[in-house]
Amino acid sequence: MAADDNRPILVPVLGDQLTRTLASLRGRTKDDTVILMMEVWDEATYVKHHKQKIVLIFSAMRHFAAELEDAGWQVDYVKLTDPDNAGSFTGEVARAVERHDPRAIHVVEAGEWRVQQAIEEWPDKFDCEVKILPDDRFVASLAEFRDWAEDRNQLRMEYFYREMRRKTGLLMTDDGKPVGGEWNLDSENRKPPKDGMSAPERPKFEPDEITQQCIDLVREKFADHFGSLDKFEWPVTREEAEEAADAFFAERIENFGPYQDAMVAGEDDLFHSMLSTSINLGLLDPLELCRRAEQSHKDGKAPLNSVEGFIRQIIGWREYVRGFYWHQMPHLQRANALNAQRGLPEFYWTGETDMACLADCVRSTRDNAHAHHIQRLMVLGNFALLAGISPPEVQDWYLVVYADAYEWVELPNVAAMILYADGGKLASKPYAASGNYINKMSNYCSGCRYSPSKKTGEGACPFNPLYWHFMVRHRERLENNPRVGRIFSTWDRMDEDKRQDYLDSAEAFLATLEPAGKTWAKSSRAQAGDTPQQNLMTNHGGCAILT
């Protein structure tokens, strides 16, 4: 046996790869494997993530490393404060190669394009075999998505979702038909909230010693990042995440479907599962969750529309946006089909606006590092679309503020779903709505200084004139769209004065928007000079090791 054969395999496990059955760990033996886990400054600061997001990822990583060690694995864990920390994945792998002299590196492909580009340079950088394995924690491989997409003129989630239903057998009859006869029950999932509606309390996880250390670290090193650390309640281990899932299936899935689009001021989660942070970290298996949802329908505990809705979000939307991301990168990052150029308003960071819906969504975002889907889409996203906010600024904001945000899932949702920056590749129409929609689906308007029924002028809900301003700005592109084109006949039927009123009101409102100040703008990757290296120098007491 060659002497080299005794050298270990180095298995870098990234922060969102916290899965015991990860492809790079499957089949490995404990005595010839060194697992490398790295807290690096580049990742913590390439945008200035919400404080809770950094605590969540570091704490989940530290817990996962402890679990692996308890199970007998050799884990080489590099903390952010390690004085020799190189600051980047590649730098840390280089140091680990020196320490362990591995015969090979086995790594699972990264979720984000940026990190994957760095990993693909490793074979040239390191003098050992580098094996990059597919991330098989998704239902569809990237090749499968590519094959599916390449045959089509138009990509639509609905058709991809049906393929995933067939592939997994979820909610399928023995003769290959959708259970209940329909593929998609979304039309049953649009109930407005009832008066005084609230959801059962979900499990909240008190910080243990490891989490508390991460909280202290973030308070010290990331004090100027967005977000509150007054409470931290996210699950940080698989065990806790399972407890959160148990509570969802026991208490909330029944109403998940019907009230999926409802919004209630101060009710931050309603009947949503709040499982995205755990799924995206790798603590929960998305397919297992779908099977549990299906079982709860079979057991008569949840209606089909709730279960189908939940399964569609996961094997439909989640899988679809991941495939779409890799299919459209890197140009998706720069897409701006509607030529939106306005700066992000300051209130996205401060919540200081008289628009009650936006203020509440920003508050929830700041306090919880979370807002539920319809808040992200139809309030925060709708406003950014109508006001013509520049895609890179909106993209950075969403990537910063949500604890579940990783570029592969955030970017398609932001650039393509809310901003239509891809020109309609992902969604068949822009999700543009006036104040009527928010008034119907929430109780926000009753506490707002604006009125959703007033269309223009003082006191009118700003979404009303902004809606028409947007439509008129983009008429040429949208009027032949079968899903929105008809709206222009309503516009054409209005008298000239009314149309002018709409446009003037929108212009007057847009003129009041204050662009984000310097502090927040610094969180944008678009800001020149804000390199990770400079962050390291300014925030990390000068112990720069980056080369």
Ligand X SMILES: Cc1cc2nc3c(=O)[nH]c(=O)nc-3n(C[C@H](O)[C@H](O)[C@H](O)COP(=O)(O)OP(=O)(O)OC[C@H]3O[C@@H](n4cnc5c(N)ncnc54)[C@H](O)[C@@H]3O)c2cc1C
Choose among ligand SF4, ligand X, none what residue 413 binds, the Cβ cut-off being 5 to 8 Å by kind: ligand X
**C-alpha 525: how far from chain center:** 17
Q: Which helix (H) or strand (E) holds 364?
A: helix 356-368
Cis before 330 (ω within 30): yes
Strands 74-78 and 104-108: unpaired
Alpha carbon distance 192, 203 (integer Å): 25
If binding means CB under 6 A, how many residues of this protein chain bind ligand X?
Answer: 28
Taking residues 305 to 344 in sequence order and writing x for each that binds ligand SF4 by CB under 6 A, - otherwise, the string is: ----------------------------------------
- Binding flag, residue 398, ligand X (CB under 6 A): yes
CB 503 to ligand X: min, Å: 27
**In the block, residue with structure tokens 């919004």:** 263
Contact 282, 16 (CB under 8 A): yes
Residue 467, phi-psi category: left (phi > 0), alpha (psi -120 to 50), beta (remainder): alpha
Chosen from ligand SF4, ligand X, none, partner binding at 357 (C-beta under 5 to 8 Å by type): ligand SF4
3-state secondary structure of 104: strand
- Residue pair 258/305 in contact (Cβ under 8 Å)? The answer is yes
Query: Which single residue is written with the structure tokens 């790295």?
Result: 38
Coil, strand or helix: which one is 36? Answer: strand
Residue 335: contacted member of ligand SF4, ligand X, none (CB under 5 to 8 Å, by partner type)? none
Residues of this chain, 341-380, that bind ligand SF4 according to CB under 6 A: 355-357
Q: Which is nearer to ligand X, 88 or 280 (CB)?
A: 280
Backbone angles phi, psi at 436, to 5 degrees: -55, -45
Q: Which is nearer to ligand X, 221 or 322 (CB)?
A: 322
Binding to ligand SF4 by residue 456, rule CB under 6 A?
no
Q: Which does 276 bind (CB under 5 to 8 A by kind): ligand SF4, ligand X, none?
A: ligand X
Sign of the alpha-carbon dihedral angle for 260, 234, 398, 386 = positive
457-476 residues in contact with ligand SF4 (CB under 6 A) are 461-463
Shortest spacing between CB 520 and ligand SF4, in angstroms: 22
Look-up of token digits 């119907």:
440
Binding track, positions 413-452, relative to ligand SF4; x by CB under 6 A = ----------------------x--xx----xx--x-x-x
CA atoms of 523 and 533, how far apart (whole Å): 14
Q: Please identify, using beta-carbon distances, which residue of 453 and 538 lies nearer to ligand SF4.
A: 453
Contacted by 356, from ligand X, ligand SF4, none: CB < 5 to 8 Å by type: ligand SF4
Q: In what order do the strands lie in the sheet with 129-133?
A: 74-78, 33-38, 9-12, 104-108, 129-133
Q: Which of 39, 267, 294, 410 binds ligand X (CB under 6 A)?
A: 410
Interface ranges with ligand SF4 (CB under 6 A): 355-357, 435, 438-439, 444-445, 448, 450, 452, 461-463
Interface ranges with ligand X (CB under 6 A): 272-276, 279-280, 310, 313-314, 317-318, 321, 372-373, 376-377, 381, 398, 402, 404-405, 409-410, 413-414, 417-418
